Structure 1
């Protein structure tokens, strides 16, 4: 049942670039005829997702082999994800075979199916769950010693997924280490190995950009773009590389060069339905034209971005709601089971948490000031500084110490236990690192799905520990985030307040301004002017 669940991106989250290695594992897993058919389906995945879906579904209807169906459904699922149709991507993965037949699947296909589950979680933005699944798969040292080429290709993709998950929480050193492990699993010389290596280079350059290692990142991007163009017929990966290179020029404040690289990348996919990648191009176009004071093109691309984002967010929300309903079903069953046998319920809850919820570990505890009085800008900067120090302090705490701090349970059965409350707070800390609160559609139900915490417990813990209700909690995270960007990234000082409001997830300019002033003690305009004055002095 667990395999029916599968984010991702948050908008700034990195895109997961589908499975690139079908022919490598199909040889020896299926007969030559099926290998040829799936190889053709795989090629269509890069040429046009819609054609890939139609072609693969025709194969799925005529093929009775259970393992073939697992492979074909993964191709179709990936094609839907590339279109930004997340609910269909999840739905096709939910179509499972009879249990007696599933038990006969090879160990490789079961490993591959677990990878597909982690992939689906990441597509929905459930990065903590994706990370937990991958950790469980890779914790067996004997399994990692496998010399089977097909399995090593799966390991390469799992480590790549884990690198993306680490990047989402800004743990870039761990992300780069996982990319090293992914490269270490790529021992072949075929096209699939080559493309995965290209992806790893692009992801690596992206993480280096975020560490402000700009020139080191550009050297990698220049090299991989040369390799991609040399081999040709790699439109999707080529667009991915040029998009990353445009970010380099954006950070260098060379907006003209950034636009030129966006043009090169977008020309590769302009007539193809890769909506999950196109939305990133629209966002980058609007940012660069805003910096260039080209209002006409800014509004054009910003409208394209806003329209497509609304469509994709709605589809992703449906996928997450599907997960929420499933989690709520399991939660109700767990409560009923507790009435019958508390000890057994505890064990089942632990198992369900590991398998279904798999919410991530502790990181980032913050208590922001709630004063509504006017404050000086320096006071707010000091608050942000203390918050960063608090994050680092929590990140450096030994795991044993964290576990020791939450050992004392509350014996009152009518209230949430102290142990459970601390556990929920730790999960919220890690969730805050993902920037998912910037999603305009963020709700208590979605937060429940992304953290694996029951909505009732979430509401109670937020009210009791954050000193505000859910909306106040989310709004403060948003304002702290945008205030930090305005202080640390000069490009944001050029943006209009309406764009900052949209970026932060607020429904209107007015709502953003009111909340910003209530938290920082000044309007967004005043805040920006103060920063500019300080930079000039």
Structure 2
């Protein structure tokens, strides 16, 4: 027989095998291929995920493909695209009945929105997650999902400085993971222990911090970004203990993982701790190098976050405008239909009358014409000459009035006065300073205060406070020479920064000098162009 015949038989056998293959097996193979590829070639992995989406016929496969893409973009730090793909998966989940998949999407979105600082959206999806998991029948899947949701709550409380509440949620997450028998939850369990280590580190409990970091380290078999965070945390513990040799070893391990990773959270943690290490041993040159690395990563992270926040704001604004525009169009259409209906009904009635009362048709027509003219004259100014631009302007006026009603001009003026008084004091150096804290001090809410700072101080809250703090310490350095003798860590503590590395990084941004270089310039008497107060409202 010919070779072409054998090829045909071989092709048919392979086709039947592929069709008979279990969907889960195909999915697992594809997922493993994407994961392996992503470690070497992320663009290729993204193409594979996109290919899976386009070639899938089953809605469930399409949803999983979207989540593959979302996870990949999360690892690159592109939260905008990550959230976009996850939201698409979330919109498709309504077409199928899969509580497990729905809970996975919900937890993922809760995490992404928390990472970009959209805490209300994050809380919304977390709450939805607790409702969704009630529909899960499999005990392993239920406990895994419950553990992840409690872990997410722990991160939320950690980000808001509620460390003891965070510990409570971590304990609950670990309790849930321990109940899982068949499913592998080692990574998630290790994640909880790593977070617990970080919480104890924040509470300066180095003993418990190290214990939990060690547990996490043992559970992580590969060099994932999480292991990098563990090494970074252990390095920070050794820095607090002033064990510089071991601190250096752990931080080198963390840096090796960070340099190969695209995870910006890991890079921020590692660079900040290495900066602390070099400042601790008095190596200012290397300390400045890592301060610059930290700042670059921090700026990149914030830029990606603001992309999502701005897009969400823009979408919300467009939706409101669109809804108002649609409502107006509907009203106009309804009124026009009613007008046309009334007119047609009236004309129909006229025709019936014409057959019976021909002798009065002319007078009736005359009367009807007059009535119609009057009717049209009354309605014409309302609809005939309205242009698209005028409708748009009216919409903008409505939106403006609504926005204005949220905060009166008197309230805005009062808040601006309070902020000016606040700048004259030193409350901004308080280590507990936060937007909710300051809003409470001014007897207002965070939305009003944030709006006034954005509008009148031309910056977000953190930038505003940081500039005030640096201005304060610069004034001290210029006018009180004893401050030039202080260690950088003391200066950082004086103006409310949690670490000297963060202080040095912000100082460099505001003044273009490192703290030590600035002090040297002051001591040398070269105060040209550096005694100018840096504008916090610029």
TM-score in same-fold range (> 0.5)? yes
Does residue 500 in structure 1 map to residue 506 in structure 2? yes
110 and 248 in structure 1: CA distance in 2 versus 1, 3 angstrom threshold: same
**Alpha-carbon distance between aligned partners in 1 of 2:254 and 2:493, rounded to the nearest angstrom:** 28
Instruction: Give the conservation status (yes or no) of the 8 Å contact 1:506–1:512.
Output: no
Shift of 1:501: 2.3
**Alpha-carbon distance between aligned partners in 2 of 1:368 and 1:211, rounded to the nearest angstrom:** 32
Q: 1:179 aligns with which of 170, 179, 196?
A: 170
The equivalent residue for 1:204 is: 196
Instruction: Give the conservation status (yes or no) of the 8 Å contact 2:187–2:219.
Output: no
Considering Cα pairs closer than 8 Å and 6+ residues apart, tell me whether 1 or 2 has the greater RCO. 1
Does residue 219 in structure 1 map to residue 211 in structure 2? yes
Instruction: Give the conservation status (yes or no) of the 8 Å contact 1:153–1:185.
Output: yes
The equivalent residue for 1:514 is: 533
Shift of 1:318: 2.3
**Alpha-carbon distance between aligned partners in 2 of 1:286 and 1:194, rounded to the nearest angstrom:** 31
Q: 1:158 aligns with which of 146, 149, 154?
A: 149
Does residue 118 in structure 1 map to residue 110 in structure 2? yes
The equivalent residue for 1:477 is: 465
**Alpha-carbon distance between aligned partners in 1 of 2:83 and 2:136, rounded to the nearest angstrom:** 31
Shift of 1:82: 1.5
Does residue 31 in structure 1 map to residue 58 in structure 2? no
281 and 372 in structure 1: CA distance in 2 versus 1, 3 angstrom threshold: closer
Structure with the higher helix share, 1 or 2? 2
Instruction: Give the conservation status (yes or no) of the 8 Å contact 2:83–2:109.
Output: no
Q: 1:236 aligns with which of 225, 236, 239?
A: 225
50 and 257 in structure 1: CA distance in 2 versus 1, 3 angstrom threshold: farther
**Alpha-carbon distance between aligned partners in 1 of 2:113 and 2:205, rounded to the nearest angstrom:** 30
Q: 1:486 aligns with which of 484, 493, 499?
A: 493
Does residue 425 in structure 1 map to residue 445 in structure 2? yes
516 and 497 in structure 1: CA distance in 2 versus 1, 3 angstrom threshold: farther
470 and 146 in structure 1: CA distance in 2 versus 1, 3 angstrom threshold: farther
Name the SS for the 1:514 alignment partner. coil
Unaligned runs of 5+ in 1: 1-28, 342-348, 350-364, 396-420, 430-446, 448-457, 519-537
Q: 2:54 aligns with which of 56, 61, 78?
A: 61
Shift of 1:511: 9.8
1:340-419 equivalences under 5 Å are: 370=421, 380=426, 384=430, 391=437
41 and 215 in structure 1: CA distance in 2 versus 1, 3 angstrom threshold: same
Q: 1:332 aligns with which of 300, 314, 321?
A: 321
The equivalent residue for 1:149 is: 140
Q: 1:127-159 CA distances to partner (integer Å, 9 max, x unpaired)?
A: 33212321343268x828855322432232222
239 and 291 in structure 1: CA distance in 2 versus 1, 3 angstrom threshold: same
75 and 387 in structure 1: CA distance in 2 versus 1, 3 angstrom threshold: closer
Q: 1:380-409 CA distances to partner (integer Å, 9 max, x unpaired)?
A: 479849979x959979xxxxxxxxxxxxxx
TM-score normalised by L of structure 2: 0.61
The equivalent residue for 1:526 is: none
**Alpha-carbon distance between aligned partners in 1 of 2:91 and 2:168, rounded to the nearest angstrom:** 39
**Alpha-carbon distance between aligned partners in 2 of 1:316 and 1:383, rounded to the nearest angstrom:** 26
TM-score normalised by L of structure 1: 0.61
Instruction: Give the conservation status (yes or no) of the 8 Å contact 1:291–1:491.
Output: no
How many residues in Structure 1 have an aligned counterpart in Structure 2?
Answer: 396
1:33-112 equivalences under 5 Å are: 33-42=26-35, 49-50=42-43, 52-95=45-88, 102-112=94-104
Instruction: Give the conservation status (yes or no) of the 8 Å contact 1:83–1:276.
Output: no
**Alpha-carbon distance between aligned partners in 2 of 1:469 and 1:295, rounded to the nearest angstrom:** 33
**Alpha-carbon distance between aligned partners in 1 of 2:99 and 2:84, rounded to the nearest angstrom:** 24
Give the superposed CA RMSD. 4.5
Shift of 1:296: 3.2
Name the SS for the 1:192 alignment partner. coil
Q: 1:271-318 CA distances to partner (integer Å, 9 max, x unpaired)?
A: 344444224322322332233222332333333333344444333332
**Alpha-carbon distance between aligned partners in 2 of 1:323 and 1:171, rounded to the nearest angstrom:** 27
**Alpha-carbon distance between aligned partners in 2 of 1:512 and 1:200, rounded to the nearest angstrom:** 48
Q: Which moved further from structure 2: 117-126 or 507-516?
A: 507-516
**Alpha-carbon distance between aligned partners in 1 of 2:300 and 2:531, rounded to the nearest angstrom:** 23
Instruction: Give the conservation status (yes or no) of the 8 Å contact 2:79–2:304.
Output: yes
372 and 425 in structure 1: CA distance in 2 versus 1, 3 angstrom threshold: closer
**Alpha-carbon distance between aligned partners in 1 of 2:39 and 2:305, rounded to the nearest angstrom:** 22
Q: 1:147-173 CA distances to partner (integer Å, 9 max, x unpaired)?
A: 532243223222212211111110112
Instruction: Give the conservation status (yes or no) of the 8 Å contact 1:50–1:79.
Output: no
Q: 1:25-63 CA distances to partner (integer Å, 9 max, x unpaired)?
A: xxxx95332233224434555676455434333323322
**Alpha-carbon distance between aligned partners in 1 of 2:532 and 2:269, rounded to the nearest angstrom:** 26
Instruction: Give the conservation status (yes or no) of the 8 Å contact 1:176–1:204.
Output: yes
**Alpha-carbon distance between aligned partners in 1 of 2:138 and 2:312, rounded to the nearest angstrom:** 36
The equivalent residue for 1:6 is: none
